Amino acid sequence: MVVYLDIIFLMNVLIDGALMWTTAWSRKLRFRFWRLLLAAMIGGSYAIFLFFPPLGFLYTFLVKFLFSLIMLWTAFGFGGLQHFMRNLGMFYMVNFVAAGVVVGCMYVRQSADELLNGILLGRGLTGTLTLIAVGIPLAVWITRTVIRAMKRKQELLTHTAKVDVHIDSVASSCMGLIDTGNQLYDPLTRTPVMVMEASQWGEWIPETWMDKIRRAEVDQIVSSIGTDSFIWQDRLRLVPYRGVNRGTQFMLALKPDKVVITTEQGQTETFKVLIGLDGGRLSSDNAYQAIIHPSLVQTGSGT
């Protein structure tokens, strides 16, 4: 077996540098290039210890963890315990994603014999460099996607609330998004309108009406009132609004008895509200089924 220590050192410097850069990008950290390069060189030097038997004691979990602390401190400084621990957590998350991607690529690309014999023997070194060249950018993309999804989910959690709509003896519950940009009011009564997926009321709304709601033809429902069976005809309202194409459209709405909105801060019970029915999905991942008017959460309405 021929081992080229200089190539292994440079290869690990590139890997550690990419991992440290991804950590900095994920945490939005400012850094100096020479410090990040020095941290990567420390990591590259540690990989060389594997080929010196007297230094085998360094390949323990405790020493590896210590080296990761030294690398992070070298690249980004300390900045306080909480700040440093967050950097450490992100660094290991990036490492695990990158390792998983590279191992996965190896598993797909190589045969069983190649996996058993290792990737640093003979021509396997070229294959390793290729895998790293593909695996690290892919790991960066996966990490970036996951982090963005986590941040979006966290933002949604801080802006979502449980919604309970009560009409007669019927109660419909769902999750709602508190949208500060939602300023939809009934122009006649100045009643705030909370938009809700019509499918939440599919059991009580006639199917012919549901089709017209999905096709945004709710004005035609007015002509069906009295002919189609609907238990809440006296609660129906038509709310005009300006669509994406700036044309005036109408939304079918229901007048509930009350709406209870539950957030982390507590409950808000409101009586002056209309429930606008939307024929589609308000969230592509079904994270929420209603758009809550901000005034309903800020002050509530007692009349």
Asked if the model's pLDDT at residue 196 lies above 60, the reply is: yes
Asked if the model's pLDDT at residue 249 lies above 90, the reply is: no
Range(s) of the domain holding residue 36: 5-157
- Indicate if 144 and 225 belong to the same structural domain: no
Which of 121-130, 148-157, 225-234 bottoms out in mean pLDDT, i.e. has the lowest? 121-130
- Among candidate residues 6, 168, 179, 285, the one labeled active-site is 179
Q: Is 257 a catalytic residue?
A: no
- Indicate if 89 and 104 belong to the same structural domain: yes
Banded pLDDT at 120 (limits 50, 70, 90):
very low
To the nearest whole percent, how much of the chain has pLDDT over 90? 16
SS3 274: strand
Q: Which H helix or E strand runs over 275?
A: strand 274-278
Closest CA to 261 of 248, 275, 250, 247: 275
Does the residue 114 lie in any domain? yes
The count of other CB atoms within 10 Å of the CB of residue 102 is 20
Domain's final residue, options 114, 133, 157: 157
- Indicate if 14 and 128 belong to the same structural domain: yes
Q: Say how far apart CA 118 and CA 41 lie, in whole Å.
A: 24
The count of other CB atoms within 10 Å of the CB of residue 231 is 11
Q: Say how far apart CA 240 and CA 250 lie, in whole Å.
A: 4
Does the residue 303 lie in any domain? no
- Indicate if 33 and 94 belong to the same structural domain: yes
CATH (domain of 273): 2.40.70
Q: Is 264 or 171 the better-scoring residue by pLDDT?
A: 171
Q: pLDDT, tens digit, for every residue of 253-294?
A: 999 999 999 988 888 899 999 999 998 888 877 888 999 998
- Indicate if 123 and 163 belong to the same structural domain: no
- Indicate if 41 and 111 belong to the same structural domain: yes
Q: What is the dihedral of CA 45, 50, 56, 58, to 10 degrees?
A: 30
For the chain, what is the domain count? 2
What are residue 289's phi and psi, to 5 degrees?
A: -125, 10
CA atoms within a 13 Å half-sphere pointing along the CA-CB vector of 38:
12
Q: Is 258 or 17 the better-scoring residue by pLDDT?
A: 258
- Indicate if 13 and 118 belong to the same structural domain: yes
Here the tokens at position 299 are 């002050």
- Is residue 86 within 8 A of residue 27, CB to CB? The reply is yes
Domain's final residue, options 97, 127, 157: 157
Domain's final residue, options 115, 134, 157: 157
Q: What are the start-end ranges of the H helices in the chain?
A: 5-27, 33-48, 61-76, 81-109, 112-117, 124-158, 207-214, 294-298
